[in-house]
Amino acid sequence: MQRFKSQGQAQRFVSTHSAICNAFNLQRHLVSRKTLRTFRTAAMAEWNAASAAAA
């Protein structure tokens, strides 16, 4: 984490990154392709709603 100017900035990045990663990271080997598509569609809809609200 040497590229961050402060520990607070690094913490903000990591907390945001983990929330996004948790929304999009699925254990592919545990679900079928059809279920994975359903999850990805729901995750993208949630992301679009969140990013539209932030803008």
Provide φ and ψ at 5, rounded to 5°.
-75, -25
In a domain, 38, yes or no: yes
pLDDT of residue 34: 92
Q: Is residue 47 part of a domain?
A: yes
pLDDT in tens, 18-38: 877 777 777 777 888 899 889
Which stretch of DSSP H or E encloses residue 4?
none
Q: pLDDT band for position 2 (50/70/90)?
A: low
Tell me which range, 6-15, 18-27, 34-43, is most confidently predicted by mean pLDDT: 34-43
Closest CA to 19 of 40, 50, 55: 50
Residues ≥6 apart with Cβ < 8 Å to 35: none
pLDDT score, position 29: 79
Residue 2 lies in a domain: no
Q: How far is residue 21's CA from residue 37's CA, in Å, rounded to a whole number?
A: 17
Q: Which structural domain range is residue 45 located in?
A: 7-54
The count of domains in the chain is 1
